[in-house]
Structure 1
Amino acid sequence: MTYDQVTVPEDGEKISLADDGSLEVPDSPIIPIIYGDGVGSDVGPAAQQVLEAAAEATGREINWMRVYAGESAREKYDENLPDETVEAIKEHRVAIKGPLTTPVGAGFRSLNVGLRKLLDLYANVRPTYHLDGVPSPVKSPEQMDMVTFRENTEDVYSGIEWEAGTDEVEKVREFVEDEMDQTNIIHNGPVGIGIKPITEFGTKRLVRRAIDYALEHGRDSVTLIHKGNIMKYTEGQFRDWGYEVAKEEYGDEVITEDTLWEERDGEAPDGAVVVNDRIADNMLQQILTRTDEYDVLATMNLNGDYISDACGAQIGGLGIAPGANFGDGRLLAEPVHGSAPKYEGQDKVNPTAMILSGRMMLEYLGWDDAADLVRNAIEETISSGKVTYDLERQLEDAEKLATSEYADEVVNNIEKLS
């Protein structure tokens, strides 16, 4: 494909998909990158520098292809999410982006959600683990080691809703009143109404991905998180369809919690993954009170947002928390945090979340040695007390570094450790 505003690196090669669905990754792949809005102008280049160093230290080369969304796209294309950007990520399969801000009246409820939907990146995966040296509000942050699989395309994030006072919302109100006898609930003045779609297809492919991850990475359990005691036909159905996947598709590799206790007295077979479920509000408590009892979490869009942020708080906050969006043969890495526009261009904020999101990208490429280098170098940097302002103010005798200085220090540690 040819592009108007995007320069394709001459020396790099495209990642392709093999017949069996696996990635074929050259040693010098082309990787699209969106720096993002706000602090993206700082954390984007910092992450790029660190990931590039890790690749070079392991005998590889990343050929970056700058693509645009948000403010940078408006400057070049006069639109927020140009077709070129979407097509570039489709064509090259693996990409990384910084945070994006959706301006009022932009045509998208969220540019981040828009990208996920257009690319069918149905699993938002957020691993939460503690790094040595990072201050935490809990006594034992090292107990937190969970991976949240959050369905990316459905639930209330699908954006199916009607504004109070419009003709459209009145039609929906009339239907609900006539068909569901809900007059007392929605007839007290103006009302906004939204729809929460949960499909069998979307649920099962998300839960399947979570179970596959648990099996591949030696994890002990997958927990289905829902509010099915109240929303019986949406979140309750998510739970039921999730259990169907576990029982019907995995044989002896997976065992449900009920079977575990009713037939095996709590002793799981060697190598088997236990699938259980928890009510969402109770789970928000248990990730704090029983942190070490949970492993891989699978849930819907809104629950996943709440749960992963609560997990992130235990390991030092969203400045540390990575994430990535997975589709079939495609990945878009992105940090959990937002664009924080008041800090834009100040070379101040912590780039660790975007760097660690890039670490997930390296793992997806099969470059585990480079991914390990990134984590080890970050831990070495933070443990030595060389940190950005957000951590420096919580530590004694720490040295406050700018975003770019922190990236330089991580790169130095990559070179020392490689």
Structure 2
Amino acid sequence: MSHEYEKVDVPSDGEPIEVVDEEADELDIPENPIIPIVHGDGIGKDVGPAAQKVLSAAADATGRNIEWMRVYAGESARERYDENLPEDTVRAIDEFRVAIKGPLTTPVGAGFRSLNVALRQTLDFYANVRPTYYLDGVPSPMKAPEEMNMVSFRENTEDVYAGIEWEAGTDEVEQVRDFVEDDMGFDDVMHEGEIGIGLKPITEKGSKRLVRKAIDYAIEHDRDTVTLVHKGNIMKFTEGQFSEWGMEVAEEEYDDDEVFAAPDSLWETQDEIDIPEDAVMVEERLADAMLQWMQLRTDEFDVLAMPNLNGDYLSDAAGAQIGGLGIAPGANFGDARVLAEPVHGSAPKRAGQDQANPSALILSGELMFDYMGWTDAATLVRDAVEETISSGVVTYDFARNLDDAQKVSTTEFANEVIENIEKLS
């Protein structure tokens, strides 16, 4: 180990995950890996242990064993370290490469805009990945929610989430205003009175590595399309550049029979273009139109690649189509590293009541297993969760929208999923 851990124990029976080739995203996964876990704040106290049990059961059922390394962030870290994001936690996730966490709440005055964003930026988890698919039995507002089977790749480190902004009424914002008006000549859009100003950095490096990750995922998972979603018709030198750089990746870094970069005219001349049969097609769509197409032509989209803010909006909207964010899994990918986490928040009013739905965190573990190459364990987790829900055994959030449902606690739901893992394995 490269780090001496102060207040956490490293499992003595487990083996660390090793990096084979960081650029190629290749890890050496032992059969008994050490995996750090943060249970989380609020309902994380309930769903964290529940998900841990389920994921252990899936690993056991496929002949493996996870050695969990409990680490801390948020409220649990304040109790243990008197700080929100201790070095032990950052180092553990960095050193052991594969980790999972529940939801975190960033307290007022914590020194972070978001603990989640801080972890992503500190360890360069540059792709926020959110699979959106329908599970039989989940109540949904859509007529055909089963048509949704899409994976969103949201750039995770830049755009407006870089946090470069200045507060109205400060000397700093007035300096920026003077520069923009006097030196850059944009006086016609700077209205009189107080103003808040923020920067929206979109880089070539950040754009290309995100799109590359999305294309590689599509190839590995037999997906047909990667759609670059942007608002480049208005933000030409930020989101427009994201699209241009993304298309450069598709055109220059892959063989023609592997990846087809669709021309702008595709939608008018699609029948006349010779697209290689097994190639992943990389296309573009405007973000505002995409919000319509996700509902009207849901089954046409496989993988989306987006700048940070678009990815936040669009992945949440996609989650609503399959039953809400309470069921939505997610993970953060870097180079040869993954931090799985659910999309939902910490819901502190429900904390400690053993009522919350652990499905999103459990299914985030499925995504973690898939990243590790444990596809059999990943499939087992997803099938067992779906079998549990489709049988009518659900937590309160689903029970209130279903007829004849059997409402169970967080713990009881996890136990039912484990029973289904044993039946399906």
Alignment TM-score, normalising by the size of structure 1: 0.98
Q: Which residue of the other structure, out of 249, 255, 261, is the alignment partner of 1:256?
A: 261
The letter of the residue matching 1:152 is N
CA RMSD of aligned residues (A): 1.3
Deviations 1:354-393 (A, max 9, x none): 0000001111111111111111111110111000011111
Write the letter of the residue equivalent to 1:2.
E
Q: Cα distance, 1:21 vs. partner?
A: 4.8
User: Retained in 2: the 8 A contact 1:260–1:267?
Assistant: no
Pick closer, same or farther for the CA change 1:240–1:74 going to 2, 3 Å: same
**Aligned: 1:186 with 2:190:** yes
Q: Which residue is equivalent to 1:3?
A: 5
Aligned to 2:377: 370
User: In the aligned structure 1, how far is the partner of 2:49 from the partner of 2:90?
Assistant: 21
What's the counterpart of residue 64 of structure 2? Answer: 60
1:48 equivalenced with 2:48 (yes/no): no
Partner Cα distance (2:392, 2:25) in 1: 43
Pairing of 1:191-230 with structure 2 (within 5 A) = 191-230=195-234
Asked if 1:299 is matched to 2:303, the reply is: no
In 1: Cα distance, 2:227 partner to 2:355 partner: 37
Runs of 4+ in 1 over 6 A off after TM superposition: none
Distance (Å, rounded) in 2 between the aligned partners of 1:392 and 1:417:
24
SS in 2 for 1:96: strand
Q: Is the contact made by 1:47 and 1:355 (CA closer than 8 Å) also made in structure 2?
A: yes
Cα deviation, residue 180, structure 1: 3.1
**Does the CA-based 8 Å contact 1:215-1:273 persist in structure 2?**
yes
> SS of 2:368's equivalent?
helix
Alpha-carbon shift at residue 181 of structure 1 (Å): 2.7
Equivalent runs, 1:17-416 vs 2, <5 Å: 17-19=19-21, 21-252=25-256, 253-258=258-263, 265-416=272-423
| CA contact 1:260–1:268 (8 Å) conserved in 2 | no
Q: After TM superposition, give the deviation of residue 275 of structure 1 in Å.
A: 1.0
Supply the AA of the counterpart residue of 2:18: S
347-356 or 258-267, which moves further after superposition? Answer: 258-267
Residue type of the partner of 1:238?
F
| Aligned partner of residue 251 in structure 1, secondary structure | coil
Paired with 1:341 and 1:26, the residues of 2 have a C-alpha distance of: 36
Q: Distance in 2 between matches of 1:264 and 1:395?
A: 44
Q: Which segment drifts farther, 183-192 or 256-265? A: 256-265
In structure 2, distance between residues paired with 1:21 and 1:186: 45
TM-score between both structures, scaled by the size of structure 2: 0.96
Cα gap change, 1:308 to 1:21, in 2 (>3 Å): closer
The letter for the 2-side match of 1:205 is R
CA distance in structure 2 between the partners assigned to 1:406 and 1:296 by the alignment: 31
Asked if the contact 1:156–1:301 (Cα under 8 Å) also holds between the matched residues in 2, the reply is yes
Quick one: percent identity of the two aligned structures? 70
Greater shift, 175-184 or 6-15, is seen at 175-184
Superimposed CA distance per residue, residues 261-305 of structure 1 (whole angstroms, 9 cap, x where no aligned partner): 758625521210111111111101110111111110000111000
Q: Tell me: CA distance 1:164–1:383, structure 2 relative to 1, closer, same or farther (3 Å).
A: same
Which range moved further: 250-259 or 3-12?
Answer: 250-259
What one-letter code is carried by the residue in structure 2 that aligns with 1:375? R
The answer on whether the counterparts of 1:58 and 1:370 sit within 8 Å (CA) in structure 2 is: yes
- In structure 1, the gaps of 5 or more residues are none
Cα distance in 2 for partners of 1:78, 1:119 equals 22
Measured against aligned partners, the alpha-carbon deviations of 1:68-120 in whole angstroms (never above 9, x if no partner) come to: 11111111111111111000111100000001111111111110000001111
Deviations 1:329-352 (A, max 9, x none): 100000000111111111111110
CA contact (8 A) 1:319 1:352 kept: yes
Three-state SS of the structure 2 residue aligned to 1:18 is: strand
Corresponding position of 2:18: 16
Give the secondary-structure state (helix, strand or coil) at the position aligned to 2:327.
Answer: coil
Cα contact 1:131–1:379 (8 A) shared by 2: yes
Equivalents in 1 of 2:259, 2:182: separation in Å? Answer: 44
SS of 1:319's partner is: helix
Q: Deviations over 1:22-77 (max 9, x none)?
A: 11111100000001111110110111010000000111100100001111111111
- For residues 57 and 248 of structure 1, the distance between their equivalents in structure 2, rounded to whole angstroms, comes to 43
User: What amino acid maps onto 1:177 in structure 2?
Assistant: E
Whole-angstrom distance in 2 between the partners of 1:287 and 1:180: 39
Structure 2 CA distance, aligned partners of 1:401 and 1:218?
37
2:10 is matched by which residue type in structure 1? V
